[in-house]
Structure 1
Amino acid sequence: MTSSTFRRSALCLLVAAGLTLSPLAAHAAPSAAAFSAAPLAAAPGEGRGTLPSGSRYVLLTPTEWNGTLLVWSPGYSGSAGGEASAGPDPDVVAWALDEGYALAGSKPATAGWSVRDLLDDQPQLAAVAAASLGTPEHVVAWGSSMGGLTSVALLENNPDVFDGALPLCGSIAGAIPMLNQALDGAFALRMLLAPGDDRLELVDVQNEPARQAAFREVLEAAQATPEGRARIALAASLAQIPTWTQVGTPEPNPRDFAAQQDQLYRAFLFGVISPREPLESRAGGNFSWNTGVDYARSLNGSGNALLVRALYAEAGLSLRDDLGVLADADRIAADPAAVEYMQANATPTGRIAGPVLSLHETGDTAPTVAQAETYADRVRRGGGNAILRQAFVDRPGHCAFADAEVAAVVETLQERLDTGRWANLATPRVLDQRADRIADESGLDRGTGTFAQYRPDAMLRPERAPADR
């Protein structure tokens, strides 16, 4: 059975299983009986509807379809419902339509960490699109941030539906290592600055807004003193926050410890004290732990040991004593059932059957760019190294890509799917050339960054489960 026939069978089964197709604005969806006709062109238009879960979807069709369907998964949202988008922004969507791509996207009916919703919805959305357009030659899962994680999980879980994945600024190593990493930073900050302040909830969060406000209060007070600045740097380093995080600022000199510390401080709340309560609510409990963690060893592996030691010396503090406080503090264990939930929804294994091209900024903090290397490690262990490529833009920020950069990686993955070979397609030089050409031809924003040859450190806490420690 060819991959195209296999996909047609899989998508037809989804439709036949009772998936109700909402009417499209520009064209009517054919019945499941007409599904196998597989035309490779469709009248241009926009269709919107509702999936069985209650999630809203959008399907956009080009004037002449190139045979590829891009299925977009959105990032984390604090609000439920609303209309779906089909890509990261309208300009990229318009470019993709001009290039002949069909685009689909859904917006979960629930707020927060809605990965499980998307994992259920997106294969159904692909079936909606195939029932309307015909069987695609290629189906690509793409998305940003949480949606980037979702895209690689969709490829792992549904190799009969998705041919490749294009995660943008994604937490592709999963929520468990991301929140373990955040726990390390929050734990260190509390134990060293306000150990008795119960407002600084670490896990089993009951009041997320109050927690956020309390951490902000402690953080800002600490930043006003040399001692506090040193401890912020230690806590941020344990969470692997990069030392260049603020958009629009120059990269600090490697010996300018004050400027690096300021970058860590400004990124701390966003990168470390990220919302935990909505994720714990989904998982049914706490899925993070720091039992067995050696924080002295973590500091040595963080890449920031020189910075932290210099700031401690300047403040007249004993780093050994503070690391001793962390070593002696009571540790936090995870709820196994909550860990199991977050593994399934989703902590990728790295076992992939189709090509993945991930895009990251070197100064990303939520998730930290270290997620990229941890995911790559898993893919290597799973034997998929030859079909993974990772691209990096040398710039701080989270999902702040220029439109031409995004278009360049879309084109690159398309060429990989068409030819079956990466060759030098995903190298910084070729990606820069492609982004330059696209910007010149289409008018898409090129931005000021450049693709970089970069390999981040792996996460200090890459575990998928407590047993992996």
Structure 2
Amino acid sequence: MKNMGAAILLILALTLTFGTNLYGTEAVDILDALDGVPYRIQIPGNWNRGLVMYAHGYKMPGRPWSPMPENIGQVFLDRGFALVQSGYSRQGWALEQAVGETEALKNHFQKQYGSADSTFITGHSMGGLITLATIEIYPEAYDGAMPMCGPLAPAMFFFKDRVFDMVVTFEAIFGDKVPVEYRPLMEAAILPRAAVQQALDAMPGMATKYALHWGIREKDVAGTIAMNQFLLKELEERARGNPFDNTGTIYMGFGQIDGLNDKILRYVADPGAVEYIRKHYTATGEIEDPVLALHTSYDAGVPTCVPCYYAKMSALKDNADLFVQLYVEAEGHCNFTAEQTGRVFDMLRGWVATGQKPEAGLLE
């Protein structure tokens, strides 16, 4: 009876320590839902009791969620870490849903499998900003963050000064060459890439100046403008109003076009919509844990000037010692290899373990 009592006490102690479901040595791969929100939990057979939470990027509203590519996920599993991903309850610019639902999923994981010895968060694209928001809001819950190819800046800055301004300057310069059914661009239900390309082809010299002004390749302009217009329309629907105001913006460049500012359509922001964008999300630079960011040297959608903004923000908050920006020589959005992803993750783990901050710059 004494031995049986001791065994019961041991089971109770393990239950309190490791959660209600005791984890064994078998690998786990679960696709399920938490309060209607899809998720995936993977635990390798050699689990080191480390946890990586993953935040996925922007997906078109209405399209189904799919977990991260297997070769990228394997980077973390091969290192003995559990990998947990939320599909979010709503797609599009999902900061409102993603931050809370990712945190709820982490708590669910801990109840099922116990608290992790070390916890990291990472994500691509919009998931990079979700990663940043999470580490700012829940610093006590994580040991470090690895945002990849994300707009690491206040959302209003990224969307107004980049996405919105690209669209309104495009219309001012090329609008007469865009089919009338798509004008004004901000009121069109959709702007086909072909319609944008048609306008660019009609003014090839100005198309070159426009691309140079915004720091992107000419071949990428049409796709970027079409995507930007879609993003703005989705944000307007989500925020229940136009969040962007350019009544006081003075535009310049493009070879100093005469009367450029007179040609640009002006918009007044809805205060409620402005508040929505600021809430979801305004990065602050307030971090308490190491943040190691990765970007490509050329990205038409999220140019390097955007994530570099966070280096300035963290420095202004006296947190420069907690943020490092790395880049790889590559073209495209989130164009990283699994090997590069693994190396950066190892650098972050080493930084957390030793306190030695990696050097910013090129990932050799």
Q: Classify the TM-score, shorter chain.
A: 0.7 to 0.9
Alpha-carbon spacing, 1:202–1:156, altered in 2? closer, same or farther (3 Å): farther
Q: Which residue of 2 is the match for residue 173 of structure 1?
A: 153
- The RMSD of aligned alpha carbons is 2.8
| Cα displacement (A) at 1:341 | 0.9
| Cα displacement (A) at 1:202 | 4.4
1:163 paired to 2:140: no
Give the whole-Å Cα distance in 2 for the aligned partners of 1:58 and 1:35. 24
Deviations 1:123-176 (A, max 9, x none): 111112212232112221211111111110111111122232111111221432
Q: Secondary structure of 1:143's partner? A: strand
- Alpha carbons 2:152, 2:308 under 8 Å: kept: no
1:232 paired to 2:214: no
| Cα displacement (A) at 1:352 | 1.1
Q: Secondary structure of 2:141's partner? A: coil
Q: Which residue of 1 is the match for residue 60 of structure 2?
A: 78
Alpha-carbon spacing, 1:75–1:125, altered in 2? closer, same or farther (3 Å): same
Aligned residues with identical type, % of pairs? 24
Q: Which residue of 1 is the match for residue 44 of structure 2?
A: 62
5 Å-filtered alignment, 1:328-343, equals 329-343=264-278
Q: Which residue of 2 is the match for residue 408 of structure 1?
A: 343
Q: Secondary structure of 1:291's partner? A: coil
Give the whole-Å Cα distance in 2 for the aligned partners of 1:165 and 1:200. 42
1:135 paired to 2:109: no
- Alpha carbons 2:194, 2:222 under 8 Å: kept: no
- Alpha carbons 1:233, 1:264 under 8 Å: kept: no
Give the residue type in structure 2 aligned to 1:77: K
- Alpha carbons 1:366, 1:398 under 8 Å: kept: yes
Give the whole-Å Cα distance in 1 for the aligned partners of 2:361 and 2:152. 20
TM-score, with structure 2 as normaliser: 0.86
Give the residue type in structure 2 aligned to 1:186: V
1:379 paired to 2:362: no
Deviations 1:184-239 (A, max 9, x none): 12112212222694623444x461x3xx12x642x3233334xx12333444455x
Q: Which residue of 2 is the match for residue 452 of structure 1?
A: none
Alpha-carbon spacing, 1:270–1:167, altered in 2? closer, same or farther (3 Å): farther
Paired residues in the alignment total 349
Give the residue type in structure 2 aligned to 1:34: T
Gaps of 5+ in 1: 1-29, 244-261, 300-307, 310-318, 433-469
Give the whole-Å Cα distance in 2 for the aligned partners of 1:423 and 1:149. 21
Higher alpha-carbon deviation: 96-105 or 159-168 = 159-168
Alpha-carbon spacing, 1:327–1:386, altered in 2? closer, same or farther (3 Å): farther
Give the whole-Å Cα distance in 1 for the aligned partners of 2:284 and 2:209. 30
1:122 paired to 2:102: yes
**Residue of structure 1 aligned with 2:164, choices 163, 180, 183:** 183
Q: Secondary structure of 1:166's partner? A: strand
Deviations 1:56-107 (A, max 9, x none): 111111122233211111111124474652xx42012223212101100010
Higher alpha-carbon deviation: 185-194 or 402-411 = 185-194
Give the whole-Å Cα distance in 1 for the aligned partners of 2:233 and 2:16. 43
